[in-house]
Structure 1
């Protein structure tokens, strides 16, 4: 029989044995193999990508073969790590700016916030970054070789060690005990210390090795501990054995580190929970910790196994009432899990992590049986079902749990929210911090929601303070920045192009003529509804800079210049792994710059404030502190503001940004008002949205 005559369900069993080069060679041999159902087989490309790069699965898009193939190609050369938010304890991996020596001590001077995504330093030597997760005071990276590296401190309440201040700067490798140290550093593959999946909790990290060992770290500068259980034996195996062995009983599927708990899903047992483990104060030698007290979440052990013998009555009942666990999370006081029959369950922890029973969250049931997922941390979670994304806080779980006896149907319990920007908008994952959260879309875009305490920058929308952040829809009250309701209609994208930061700086200062725009600026500053509409106008203008037809030669895979692969958030900071098309990004950058017709770029004798006389119109001079056309500013603070380079009008002497001659926008508002001014009204790039403001954000 010719190979092409074999049915597809047989061929897909063969494909995983081929590397990517061999698979592509096979699909190019004839038309029968070059069809999309084979060439873009999602099972193959997901397996190849996860095997080569250890990228975690994203259940919402696990059957998108074209996406997995594009990720495989770009991961080889283009993965970058960006972080933003609060900078305390070096959690973002950005360098200290300077060291100031004072009598008897040294003071490290560092910016307290980073509101625009900035690339983590010293990651290029780590190779391909497969996954990242934020802890309470740290950011941890998993490489494609299975090594873990962290920056910041795992326990910010003790401040034991801060990279860059107390030792080498940059992401530091998480260490293994002495007995495993040589193996972990060896040039050959070692399944006992190569991490296939990890989870960052608030103060600790759990890692699952390729052989099935569970490791835990409680301090970045101390070796980890291997976790074993007194009343349960974990079965270890190699990756090769896991493919050929039919029985999975006793193997660990995944680990999850929560706010103050550790957990693992063990086949045949279910979800197992225990307290984080640490060594004694004077103990530096222990390499294994035996968990004496652990809890098992009831009714979570069932798994569907092909070719399994006939089920018992108990198993059949469990399959019908609960189903097999697909995914789970740990919150501050609850475990929440979803099953393959479209149901969501929760259970509240008691003393020593004990759980008396599980409770179905009836309002979240997905009756049509299609894919369902849960993601969340601390006090927030999101349920994914049929294109919907439902966000919930822990208070809703409390209400359902406390009334489970007298209100089993959970009627009239408020809590679940359907944010308009997240519904049927290709959202594939949600990452929660304490007061903010991010959404990752299958298009590679990130949108941001919530509140920045003390304007820490955790939303990643730019603006190191009030003016620039206001353009993105952030309202600042008592130092906290809260996203306006208007931003929840279409979302606010996290931008990575530094030119957009310059554009925001320029426009937030009034554009080319602040005097002409002063009444519009006053409206937008004092009226939240006007600010909301202005921020949406900027949102539309800032999108799709890399989609111009003239740039598509450098965008052959359709992923754009910046394509976010994964997101993470915790506490007051955030991060993302982003695939960067450097060629396309450079072309976008070049299109933002034009030669200034009034300046000679070769004239190095002109003063540093070369355009103060030509760039700013005469009508604006009095407003900004000028007396005449050839005079200097009246007071020094304005000189930096007026300089076109620091002001966002110019990248360097002799050149201008394309927006340097544009005015602050003038709009016709949705309530019928027209913003004042002398310039023409601006049009909406994608049309003014129908605002959905009738929900509590």
Structure 2
């Protein structure tokens, strides 16, 4: 179990905590307690259900209809990829429309294939065919208009910004037939982790002086591979990575799940949580201090630190969750081991997300496999 650090304990106002549902669509929890008792520790973690969620539609600069196929979110920016391998970005308040970013990686005027997008806590990255992992920083492109009148005037333009201040991570451009071809990436707080076709795992720390990126090297997380070999009798291979901010998770085709953090070095073995091994875990989402796990069949688990009773673990009242191992730590709650989040109306979870002190899920009441 990782050491879950949290903010200093403090008295906070008592916002309403809700799970927001959109029909059979999304659910969000983690906005704070809503019970009327006087003592915060009596009701932290509880939540109610609301049938209405506030959804903001993100606009973008283009007269054409754009079909987006993937998104990735950082601390205060969003990246999106359309079906023509164009990358769009939204920044901070998301009031201004998203803008298309252009790169000098084209063939006959067509952008190189973008395999993966990864918005870090404070940077952006993309895995691009015949280029490798490209990293750029949001404050270097400044694509957004400064006034509402500029937004209105430009809204229907095909406005784009060329990204010229970028770095290509060394040794990340590998041939398509190579076992070292990169197949997945995640981005966190000044670091990212990438996975190769043969299942090797690498971690790259972004130096404080960005000019040093080109002379920096990734470290190979060999102890992750050794632990997987031991638990899977040598037949398992890593196939997926996810994470944000400080933590990352690695999933294997042998149904093993390992956790790592920003501080990990070549000497650190993975964190292995027994409750996640060989149970059909297909996705892990990480917030600042808490974790979600989605199991095959739509079962949802949570664990970690629930900061100041924000409700991010979704485990209900402390009087109930304490029976499942929840403990108090000042104004916070800690759930050391993964526990199931019970979904009303026998709902099943299709996808999960987490960030900061929030958690979310896409839920259906239809049967699933």
The answer on 1:352 being equivalent to 2:210 is: yes
Q: Is contact 1:78-1:581 (8 Å) kept?
A: no
1:225–1:391 distance in 2 versus 1, CA, 3 Å: same
Cα distance in 1 for partners of 2:107, 2:365 equals 40
Unpaired segments ≥5 residues, structure 1: 1-76, 89-95, 97-111, 123-169, 184-189, 238-248, 306-318, 401-412, 499-560, 585-697
Q: Is contact 1:82-1:120 (8 Å) kept?
A: no
Cα distance in 2 for partners of 1:573, 1:481 equals 14
Partner residue of 1:223?
Answer: 97
Unpaired segments ≥5 residues, structure 2: 1-21, 35-42
Partner residue of 1:174?
Answer: 58
What is the SS of the residue equivalent to 1:471?
helix
Q: Is contact 2:23-2:51 (8 Å) kept?
A: no
The answer on 1:496 being equivalent to 2:340 is: no
Partner residue of 1:338?
Answer: 195
Cα distance in 1 for partners of 2:249, 2:114 equals 24
Query: Offset at 1:235?
Result: 7.5
Q: Which has the higher helix share?
A: 1
1:269–1:451 distance in 2 versus 1, CA, 3 Å: same
Partner residue of 1:384?
Answer: 251
Equivalences for 1:405-424 in 2 at 5 Å?
413-424=267-278
Query: Offset at 1:221?
Result: 1.6
CA RMSD of aligned residues (A): 2.9
What is the SS of the residue equivalent to 2:297?
coil
Q: Is contact 1:116-1:496 (8 Å) kept?
A: no
- Give the structure-1-normalised TM-score: 0.42
Equivalences for 1:551-590 in 2 at 5 Å?
561-581=346-366
More divergent stretch after superposition (357-366 vs 334-343): 357-366
Q: What is the aligned counterpart of 2:164 among 289, 292, 312?
A: 292
Cα distance in 2 for partners of 1:435, 1:117 equals 22
1:414–1:298 distance in 2 versus 1, CA, 3 Å: closer
Query: Offset at 1:121?
Result: 1.9
How many residues end up aligned between the 2 structures?
A: 317
Cα distance in 2 for partners of 1:580, 1:345 equals 39
Cα distance in 2 for partners of 1:359, 1:371 equals 17
Partner residue of 2:117?
Answer: 255
1:569–1:234 distance in 2 versus 1, CA, 3 Å: farther
What is the SS of the residue equivalent to 2:185?
strand
Q: Which has the larger radius of gyration?
A: 1
Cα distance in 2 for partners of 1:428, 1:368 equals 18
Partner residue of 1:427?
Answer: 281
The answer on 1:203 being equivalent to 2:71 is: no
1:119–1:336 distance in 2 versus 1, CA, 3 Å: farther
Cα distance in 1 for partners of 2:312, 2:175 equals 39
- Give the structure-2-normalised TM-score: 0.78
Q: Which runs of at least 4 in structure 1 moved beyond 6 Å after TM superposition? A: 234-237
Cα distance in 1 for partners of 2:44, 2:98 equals 31
Query: Offset at 1:119?
Result: 5.5
Query: Offset at 1:259?
Result: 0.2
Partner residue of 1:450?
Answer: 304
